[in-house]
Chains A and B, each alone.
Chain A
Amino acid sequence: MVIETKDLTFKFDTTTVVNSLSLQVPEGSIYGFLGPNGAGKTTTIKLLLSLLEVQQGSIEIFGLNLKQHRTTILSKIGSLIEQPAIYAHLTGRENLINRAIQLRLPQARVAIMLDLVKLTPAADKKAGNYSLGMKQRLGIALAMISDPELLILDEPTNGLDPNGIIEMRELLINLVTNHGKTVFLSSHLLAEVERMATHVGIINYGELRFQGEIKDLRDISKPKIIIETDHTADAANLLKKNGHEILEVENDYLSINYQSKKGTAQVNLLLNQHEHEVYSIYKDQKDLEQLFLEITQNPRKQ
């Protein structure tokens, strides 16, 4: 694992912002760290970057304890936290040169980064006059100038136009697939993460509600058949006897796994043959967005 946290807990005064968080970010993955605003994403990122001190639990990055090996770990990380931190009175190029000076990097990296984020034509404009999207791209360039093994990006597509979002996605996928980097990015938009992430962690009220590969998340949202019938308990027993897995039984409806259109017709036929009145039968599938909302809109666990 590139990042591994164990029972990470952080409180601002009496408010628990991160609660027993155990993240596992595999090497070579794009890990989408999802959650609504205020869920604890940025606080987690600040803990990972040693900007906040760990109060409880532990953080290991590259197999090393963050507290004991802060500088070694940070030398392999590039980060972008919230809005890009840019000196408005310097040009884009100067911002990058300044970072190269701080990290004792060859200045040739500056031109490479400007090219990479397509800022070369605007390199000599004051960064304060950049659009939000340009600032975001400059922030990415600043994060990547040291050619880090791990990129930690907080809402990296904020302020980008659709083309910018696509370019960013392609860039990150390229970094992971062709350059062996690992990307940990936070977002509150599932649709955006779904398109590029290999792994997902969903956080709400500081607690990790889901973690796994993106396909695991998709598996949760498998389609089912909702059947409205007169005697739902009897109907459920009949379907069970005929080899169907019952997902839920309520007073006015029951649900089973969806197989196919033909399968749905056979279920309907089976119920009719046994004199169950079927008022409605339909396929129900939550898309990931709905699933995400469901996970994140559940109230805080007491």
Chain B
Amino acid sequence: MRNFISSLTSEYYKSRKTLNFGATILLPVILCSIVCLGFFAMADKFEKMDGKAIWGFFSGAILGVLGNLLLPLLVIFLANSVNSLEHKADTWKTLFSLPISKWTIYAAKYFYVLMLLFISMLLFALFTIGYGDLLGTIRPNLKFHDYQMTGLLLASHFKLFLSCSGILSIQFLLSLIWSDFLKPMGIGFLLFIIGMVLNSVNWHYAFLMPYAQPAISIKTMVANPNVRSDVPVNIFTSEILMSMIVSTVVFLAGYYVVKRTRIK
């Protein structure tokens, strides 16, 4: 466990000055700021909305862009950048000659990416809540203060986080295998487009496709007729369960690949 924590700390130390770490923080700041500015500039249009509706509209704008486009791309980028750091510096041989088990090194890297994604999603939720409250304060005609949406937003973003875990494991494995970052990124983009198409044609089995799961999770989040109004987010829907299964299986398969890898 101590080795795992030190490896995790090392992952943070190595990547803290890189773009992937910056993207984790910058992306929520930028996207939420843009949507906030849009609401601020067009406040007149939203004046008539009640608290629940304006929160739904405001957070939906962010969640929609996130789930349908940005999040899968962010995951592809994050998973790739942690491993490409080692490929670029040719440090796999050094890492694997340290007195640390391969499992610990592999797991620490994976959980670091998972952590970055979690932090990013948490920041999205917190910035959404913060900007909503800010808008309600500086533009009192926008009725953000009439409704409390913190729990729902945190749950929504947690669901989105889970919906990406399958993509994360696949991309993490691909970026371990190939040192050339174009291959995992290219394959990731291609699968993402396929996922988008499957989702847009409402294919019945699209929930099985990891790259379609974030977008499906947005649909199931807001359009579940069976949920009660006080518990509006049904987190563990079929695509989320599938994403978690894919994530676990591919994560374990990835370790097998690492174990068998010859360091040339």
Contact = CB atoms under 8 A, between A and B. Distances in A.
Interface of A: 46, 49-53, 71-75, 77, 79, 81-83, 85-90, 94, 97-98, 101-104, 142
B90 interface: yes
B2 interface: yes
B14 interface: yes
Interface in B74-116: 85, 88-91, 93-94, 96-101
Contacts of A72: 99
A81 B94 contact: yes
Contacts of A52: 262-263
Interface stretch (B4-12, B24-32, B164-172, B173-181): B4-12
A98 B10 contact: yes
A102 B97 contact: no
Contacts of B204: none
B18 A85 contact: no
Interface in B207-237: none
Given A71-B100, A87-B85, A98 B94 contact: no
Contact of A74 (B2, B89, B98, B262): B98
B17 interface: yes
A81 B96 CA distance: 12
In the A-B complex, the 4 residue pairs with the closest CB atoms:
A75-B99, A74-B99, A51-B263, A85-B91
A74 B99 CA distance: 5
A103 B13 contact: no
Given A52-B263, A87-B85, A94-B13, 17 more contacts: A46-B263, A51-B263, A52-B262, A71-B100, A74-B97, A74-B98, A75-B99, A79-B97, A85-B90, A87-B91, A89-B17, A89-B18, A97-B13, A98-B10, A102-B6, A102-B10, A104-B6
21 contacts: A50-B96, A50-B97, A51-B262, A52-B262, A52-B263, A71-B100, A73-B99, A74-B97, A81-B94, A81-B97, A83-B90, A86-B89, A87-B91, A97-B13, A98-B10, A98-B14, A101-B6, A101-B10, A102-B6, A103-B98, A104-B3
B159 to A, nearest CB: 34
A90 B93 contact: no
Nearest to A71: B99
Interface of B: 2-3, 6-7, 9-10, 13-14, 17-18, 85, 88-91, 93-94, 96-101, 262-263
Nearest to A86: B89
Contact of B97 (A49, A86, A87, A97): A49
Contacts of B99: 71-75, 103
Nearest to A103: B98
Given A51-B263, A90-B17, A104-B2, A85 B94 contact: yes
Given A46-B263, A52-B262, A87 B2 contact: no
Contact of B13 (A77, A101, A104): A101
A142 B14 contact: no
A215 B263 CA distance: 36
A94 to B, nearest CB: 7
B65 to A, nearest CB: 30
Contacts of B93: 46, 49, 51, 81-82, 85
B262 to A, nearest CB: 6
Nearest to B18: A89
A142 B94 CA distance: 10
A101 B9 contact: yes
Contacts of A50: 96-97
A187 B96 CA distance: 23
A88 B89 contact: yes
Contacts of A51: 93, 96-97, 262-263
Contact of A98 (B13, B18, B88, B101): B13
Contacts of A98: 10, 13-14
Contacts of A104: 2-3, 6
B151 to A, nearest CB: 37
Nearest to B6: A104
Contacts of A142: 94
